[in-house]
Structures are given as C-alpha cells and as structure tokens.
Structure 1
C-alpha cells in the first residue's frame, strides 16, 4: 500500500526541520510528555530534572526535554484553550509518527504518554481549594472534536445524551462531546490521593464557566445544573479548558492521555486561592514520580 504523502500546506515544517508552531524537531521529543498551560510552569517542572538536553520557545509554546530519575520527559506548554491543544497534540503526533524527510507516515506507530497538569475550578463540596482532581471523562463544550471524523468511536455517546438532556442543552452552543482518559494511565497517575470524576472543558473562562460580569450569560442556572448532574454514580467535579481535547485527540491518534488539576477556586463555595503557584509543585512531583 502506498504511503500517504503530506503536502507542505498541511504538514508545515520550518527550515530548521522543526514543526511549525512548537519549533521542535523529532529527536527532541520524549515518549513521556507533561502538558501545562503556563509557559513558566515548564521551568518549574524542569527544575526537578536531573539533566536538560534542549529548551525551545515560540509564542506560548515552551518546551524543555530532559531526564528525571532516569526517565526521559518532555515538558510542553500549550497556552489556554482547546484550540491550542489542537495545535499541540497534532504537532506532537507528527513528530512521533511522520517522517519529516519523506513527508509520509512511519510504518511503526509510536505511542506517546501525555499527562496534563492544570488548575481548575471545583464544582462540588468535596473538591475544595487545594485538592487534586483526575478527569475520568471530559465533557467538551468547545466543539473541537466534532471536526474529526472518528469522534463517535472515541467518545461516550450515552453520557453525551444524558448530559444534554439534564442541561436542557441549547443547540446554538454546538454539540458537546465526551472524551475518555486512558484508563491504565489514569490509575497510574491518580493513585488513591486524587478525586476522580467528570470534568467540563469550556470554550472560555467567563460566560462558558457561568461567570457573569457586564455581559449577561444565556443560562444563569448553568452551574447549578452541572453540580447536580450524576451519571453512573459519578459527579462533575470541576471546570477547566483543555482536558477534553487532550483526551479526545490522544484517543484519535493512538496515544495515552489524562488530565489532573489542582482546584484553585471552588465555585460551589465561592472561594478563590490566587496564591497557588507554590503549592502546585506537589502535584508536579506526583506526576513526575508516577509517569
């Protein structure tokens, strides 16, 4: 069978042989990848590394590849939002599974293990500020995965239906999708000290998460509905903005992925911790030990 050729307009390679946005070359990518939103958090992860072999930055995409206790790891920032995850996950996959010299897919698939470390808003009394939440399934309200042909094969369609019914979902918002974390990786990272539940990955920070400032939101009862949703004895535990795209695209591309977050705001209790940057190092260490 003839291998598929990826034209220069589709697979954009920089003059130095790196991928278009991340500016990484294939040899700079480790099999284990820790994803974070904040470029500065890459430096916080790299402080734990025993060795550093490369550091690359472009826009909000900051990368350090090094070793931690003998494990080669790439720390990669992605910025905010599922649209950025579309860039990062696709470009990481090209580095792993496309031959940049011939612009054809490699004959042997390389599987990446991706763990996103983030911050989030808790939605339950049992997710107070400071606790860690592992996303078992992520309900994406951003619509990203709906642009990919295989979305039904990697999503929980029954959970999607139950969620839309419970929320009395407005079709103008677009169809939500439910992406599933890799089960084995979830158990490996979450252990017995993280709260497990559903996560809602939103297409914005204010209106989509039920925050109302000067612009009124379309459903003032949205958060109360989210808090009361139960499916298979599991609750929606938190809000964030990337987990659905990470899990969904990883599933489509044959990689392992999950998201764990530290709660920095509890929307249920209306509490916020803005001094979270030091305490998130505990979560970083847990992931480094377990990945």
Structure 2
C-alpha cells in the first residue's frame, strides 16, 4: 500500500507536514504538553538536548535523561490538534517517507501527556496529581475512525442514561489508558481517575460568561455519575483523543494531570507553575530510571 501526496503530505525536506520532523528526530517515548512554552521547561531537565524544531504551535525537543532518549512535543489545545500530532507521530514511526509505504514491523510508541486539569469532585485537592485511568470523550474526533474494538460501550450507555445528554451533541466515547504505563507511573502520590475530555473550554466545560450553556444541571449530573464504582474526577481537552488514537494505532498512552482548579469548590491553585514543575519532575523520574 502506497500513500499518495495528498494523503501523506511532506515538506520540501521530506519532513512530515505539520510537525516538521523526520523519523530520526523522535524517540520511542514521547511526552506531550499543550503549551509550546512548556516544551523547553521539560527539556531543560534533560541531561542533553540533541534536537530542537518547531512549526506553528508544534514545538519538539529530543534529548537524553539518565541515558534514556526522550522527545517532548507541544500539541496545542484540543483533540483537533491531537488528530494531527498522533497521526503524524505514527507516520514518522511506521511509514517509510521515501517510498510512502508501511514498514514491515510496526513500532509501538509510549505517549505520555503531562497536562493541567480541573477537578469536578470537591474532595480532590488542589495541586494534586491524577492519572486518567479512563477517559470519556465528549468531542467528535473518534467518530471519524473505525473505533468499535477499543471503546467501552457499557460505560458510554450508562453515561447517556444517567446524564441528560442531548442527541444534538456528539456521541461520547470511553477509552482506557495503557495498563503498563499506569503501573510504571503509579505511586502513593498520585490518584487514579476518570477524565472527561471536552471539545472546548467555556460552554463545553459548562462555564458561562455571557452565553448560556445548553442543558440544565448537566454539570451536577456529571458530578453525580457513577459506574462500576467510578466517578468522574476531572475535565480537560486532550486525553480521550490521545487514548483513542493511540489504541487504534497500536501505541501505549497515559495522561497525567496537575489539578490546578476545583470546579466543585470554585478554587484555583495559588502556585500553578510550581505544581506543573513538580509533575514534570515526577514523570521524568519515573520514565527515565
């Protein structure tokens, strides 16, 4: 199978179109961050940096920490950008860009998101860390791909029964994290949770400024949701897309969240930069041993 120029778009130097990267530019373990400025924050903790590249909001640094080669890349905000980043990282790993054909052996990447999030249960403390063991996507990304094999339909159906979810909204999709990465990154310092991935920051996360959101008491219904002893713990904008595409492409993925806000109590962290820095240190220590 050969991928044509309009499907697999390359730059003049044969790098992948949006990320501006060549296959040798990325490591097998890739840290994703939303904010382009956070890339240098992460890579400043590497022992050595071998590569810095960027295009648009996609900034990439590759280097070494404790002898382990790592890449950190910014995705920007939202699952629309995740669609670009995950597909292009997979192409770099598994497609010969010269011949436009698949490699014989498909490589599995480790995708580790370090991000910020808002808790939706009052008992979740500000400045704490949370691993998204499950993610429920309220965006439409996965509906564009054949996805039946990777979804938890029982979870999704229970959500739609308990929550007055409008048929005008995208069908929610539930995807699990990679168990091996959860084991690697779990400790008594970090809780496991169920993350909602929203398609935006204001209305899609039930915030109201001048515009009224659709559906009365949706946030309260989501707070009360329970399935198989799980409750929703936090809201953000990328995790379900990362989990869904990673599973479809055969990669391993996990999302680590710094809890900077609590929507139930109305609080926001007084030390957000330090909390994110602590989570970066925690993650790098775990993955570079």
Query: TM above 0.5, one fold?
Result: yes
Pair 1:247 & 2:223 matched: no
Instruction: Supply the distance in 2 between the matched residues of 1:262 and 1:80 (Cα, whole angstroms).
Output: 16
Provide the residue aligned with 2:48 in structure 1. 51
Provide the residue aligned with 2:98 in structure 1. 101
The alignment partner of 1:116 has SS state of strand
The alignment partner of 1:162 has SS state of helix
Tell me the alpha carbon deviations over residues 66-111 of structure 1, each in whole angstroms, 9 at most, x when there is no partner: 0000110000000000000000000000000000110000000111
Aligned-residue offset at 1:274: 6.0
The alignment partner of 1:224 has SS state of helix
Question: Would you say the 8 A contact 1:132–1:261 is kept in 2?
Answer: yes
Provide the residue aligned with 1:257 in structure 2. 253
Instruction: Supply the distance in 1 between the matched residues of 2:252 and 2:222 (Cα, whole angstroms).
Output: 27
The alignment partner of 1:74 has SS state of strand
Question: Would you say the 8 A contact 2:261–2:269 is kept in 1?
Answer: yes
User: Which residue among 84, 97, 110 is the counterpart of 1:87?
Assistant: 84
Provide the residue aligned with 2:33 in structure 1. 36
User: Which residue among 83, 108, 116 is the counterpart of 1:111?
Assistant: 108
Aligned-residue offset at 1:290: 1.5
Unaligned 5+ runs, structure 2 = none
TM-score in terms of structure 1 length: 0.97
TM-score in terms of structure 2 length: 0.97
When the two chains are superposed, the root-mean-square deviation of aligned CA atoms in Å is 0.9
Pair 1:164 & 2:144 matched: no
More divergent stretch after superposition (121-130 vs 203-212)? 121-130
Instruction: Supply the distance in 2 between the matched residues of 1:138 and 1:125 (Cα, whole angstroms).
Output: 19
